[in-house]
Amino acid sequence: MECFHCQGNLVRKTVSYSANRKGYHLIVDDVPAWVCEQCEEPLFDENTVNAIQKSLQEIDRQLEKLPVLAD
């Protein structure tokens, strides 16, 4: 496989994925990805992206249940 950004060679590795959204920060280690040997840009498989998105949606739903502090 070839990198979309620099046309370098992609190899299978694990990487950390981070998301900053809706008042929280999430870091997931050891996420499988294709990583460019040249620019180190990660490319995630469709199943991995779907799993990450599903996890973020569940966190969003759970956070909506938290009580709001009064000022």
- Domain residue ranges of the chain, discontinuous segments joined by +: 10-64
Task: State pLDDT tens for residues 26-47.
Answer: 999 999 999 999 999 999 999 9
SS3 assignment, position 49: helix
DSSP conformation class of 9: B
Beta strands in 1-71 (DSSP E): 10-21, 24-36, 42-43
Nearest to 56 by CA among 23, 19, 29: 19
SS3 assignment, position 21: strand
* Statement: the pTM of the whole predicted model exceeds 0.85: no
Q: Phi first, then psi: what are they for 63, rounded to 5°?
A: -65, -30
Mean pLDDT along residues 64-69: 85
As assigned by CATH, the class of the 10-64 domain is alpha beta
Task: State pLDDT tens for residues 1-19.
Answer: 899 999 999 999 999 999 9
